[in-house]
């Protein structure tokens, strides 16, 4: 709507002073552990995360980074958590996926957002201690359209009985606790039945829970992902998260948090790519000079560095919004971070592959056998390709961002533009819309409002003014397209 709000970006606050020394120590210890104890290529080859690695992660509290200290976790901010994800992903994508799924979309996040104190006391200490958690939402016929889940939960006294099957359940083959989204009996609204989706915490050792298959992928070969079947599984009503019928809100709110860990991993991969590119640019000599001095190669390295900086700036800014308000609505910001960050990371890895040439395409074991330095470019590409798909593909992200941007206009003028609505309703809506747009539209052509804060450095203030102008231009463009296409625009 052209309402640029610079206060969401400025001033960018740091993490709390009492957290900072603890966070710095944790991140330093984590980096040392990854260097000394985690063989990412061995994990890739065997498809297994060694038990001693998982034990070490538990000992340092890595399974409970965001869980408050009163429940046995480290109690760190979203910013520190994302920095940890970045660090882990730069070293081993499998460990990142293992830890991130457990915390971002496993038991901890939805319970922190929606559950009672009793449920927090029951489940959060277990999650923080490293009892692995998984998120079971996707089904064979249900992906991004999560309202169509078929897995059923029927009430039976003080329990629900679950029946159905979930696919691509990351951590599911090893999890102790599962977050499961199910269809529950419909609720009558205006005389019509409305489908209800409810989420539950399910103990993985409950009778009737079965791991049917462990899935194998191009990358992330140690991802404990599989098909989970539920056959007459009895779950107490006390294990409902957020209340009956609120499952979609629980699931989508949980995924918002997960979408920040994915771009964090993309930044980690991009920074690793930048390190490799710079080293190779100095080591590789062609035509008598390091290839990094050739303009074409230097431009590739510059591009990787620039994107890494921009991606991290977006992530830190959005993470700080969460830290200031744990229930902040960051749907748009998280979606933009996820879409843009993962796509740019893939582009940077592709540029790195070009820089390394045949050596980039060759795997680590072959490079070692030939006496070459084993840069894991091939593994980085395999592990990171899925980031553009994980937790909503780029296509779904674009659709969501478009719908969110269009929604205010549709609330004002959607009925007027909908040819399927009665003429009486359309005329009434048209008058209301006209009264709004006669004042709103001219403002989108005027260079007023939403400028830089008074205390901002003049150089940065110029960019803020430019962004404010782009915001007004976007608002005008959306309005023009809505007039042309009407409600059909959100499907284009």
Extract the tokens encoding 175: 């999890």
> Kindly report the CA angle at 81 between 80 and 87, in degrees rounded to 5?
90
Residue in 4, 142, 1, 73 with CA at minimum distance from that of residue 468:
4
Q: Are strands 177-189 and 133-136 parallel, antiparallel or unpaired?
A: parallel
| 3-class DSSP state of 122 | helix
Question: Known catalytic residues?
Answer: 391
Contact between residue 276 and residue 354 where contact means Cβ atoms under 8 Å apart = no
* Ordered DSSP codes for 273-305: HHHHHHHHHHH-EETTEEGGGSHHHHHHHHHHH
Extract the tokens encoding 31: 């980096």
In sequence order, what are the residues at sequence separation of 6 or more whose Cβ sits closer than 8 angstroms to the Cβ of residue 60?
26, 29, 30, 33
Contact between residue 222 and residue 175 where contact means Cβ atoms under 8 Å apart = no
* φ, ψ of residue 244 in degrees (nearest 5): -65, 140
> Kindly report the CA angle at 247 between 245 and 251, in degrees rounded to 5?
165
Alpha-carbon distance 68 to 52, whole Å?
Answer: 25
For residue 275, what are the CA distances in angstroms to 294, 384, 407?
A: 18, 17, 42
Alpha-carbon distance 45 to 222, whole Å?
Answer: 9
Contact between residue 112 and residue 133 where contact means Cβ atoms under 8 Å apart = no
Alpha-carbon distance 399 to 394, whole Å?
Answer: 9
Q: Is the dihedral of CA 418, 424, 425, 429 positive or negative?
A: positive
Contact between residue 335 and residue 403 where contact means Cβ atoms under 8 Å apart = no
Residue in 59, 95, 64 with CA at minimum distance from that of residue 81:
64
Contact between residue 12 and residue 316 where contact means Cβ atoms under 8 Å apart = yes
In sequence order, what are the residues at sequence separation of 6 or more whose Cβ sits closer than 8 angstroms to the Cβ of residue 445?
472, 476
The residue behind tokens 């294990």 is: 239
Q: How many Cβ atoms from other residues are within 10 Å of residue 353's Cβ?
A: 17
């Amino acid at each position: 709507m052209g309402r640029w709000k610079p206060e969401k970006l400025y001033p960018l606050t740091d993490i709390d002073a009492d957290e900072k020394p603890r966070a710095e120590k944790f991140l330093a210890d984590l980096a040392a552990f990854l260097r000394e104890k985690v063989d990412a290529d061995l994990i890739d080859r065997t498809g297994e995360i060694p038990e001693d690695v998982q034990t070490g992660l538990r000992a340092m509290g890595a399974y409970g980074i965001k869980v408050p200290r009163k429940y046995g976790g480290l109690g760190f901010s979203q910013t520190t958590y994302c920095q940890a994800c970045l660090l882990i992903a730069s070293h081993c994508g499998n460990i990142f996926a293992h830890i991130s799924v457990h915390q971002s979309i496993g038991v901890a996040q939805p319970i922190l957002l929606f559950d009672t104190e009793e449920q927090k006391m029951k489940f959060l200490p277990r999650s923080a201690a490293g009892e692995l958690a998984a998120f079971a939402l996707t089904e064979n016929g249900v992906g991004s359209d999560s309202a169509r889940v078929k897995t059923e939960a029927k009430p039976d006294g003080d329990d629900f009985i679950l029946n159905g099957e979930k696919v691509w359940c990351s951590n599911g083959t090893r999890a102790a606790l599962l977050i499961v989204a199910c269809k529950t009996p419909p609720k009558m609204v205006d005389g019509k039945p409305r489908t209800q989706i409810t989420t539950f915490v399910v103990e993985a050792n409950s009778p009737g829970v079965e791991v049917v298959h462990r899935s194998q992928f191009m990358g992330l070969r140690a991802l404990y992902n599989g098909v989970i079947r539920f056959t007459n599984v009895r779950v107490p009503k006390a294990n409902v998260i957020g209340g009956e019928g609120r499952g979609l809100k629980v699931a989508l709110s949980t995924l918002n948090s997960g979408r920040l860990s994915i771009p964090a991993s993309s930044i980690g991969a991009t920074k690793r790519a930048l390190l490799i590119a710079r080293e190779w640019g100095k080591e590789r000599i062609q035509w008598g000079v390091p290839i990094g001095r050739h303009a074409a190669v230097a431009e590739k390295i510059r591009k990787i560095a620039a994107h890494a900086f921009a991606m991290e700036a977006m992530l830190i800014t959005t993470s700080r919004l969460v830290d200031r308000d744990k229930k902040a609505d960051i749907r748009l910001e998280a979606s933009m971070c996820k879409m843009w960050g993962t796509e740019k990371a893939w582009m940077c890895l592709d540029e790195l592959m070009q820089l390394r040439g045949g050596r980039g395409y060759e795997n680590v074991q072959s490079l070692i056998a030939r006496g070459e330095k084993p840069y894991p470019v091939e593994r980085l590409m395999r592990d990171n390709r899925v980031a553009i798909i994980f937790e909503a593909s780029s296509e779904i992200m674009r659709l969501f961002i478009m719908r969110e941007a269009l929604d205010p206009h549709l609330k004002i003028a959607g009925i007027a533009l909908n040819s399927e609505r009665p003429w009486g309703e359309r005329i009434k809506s048209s008058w209301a819309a006209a009264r709004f747009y006669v004042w709103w539209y001219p403002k989108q052509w005027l260079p007023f409002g939403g400028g830089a804060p008074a205390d901002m450095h003049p150089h940065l203030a110029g960019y803020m003014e430019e962004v404010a102008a782009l915001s007004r231009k976007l608002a005008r463009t959306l309005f023009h397209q809505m007039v042309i296409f009407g409600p059909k625009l959100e499907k284009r």
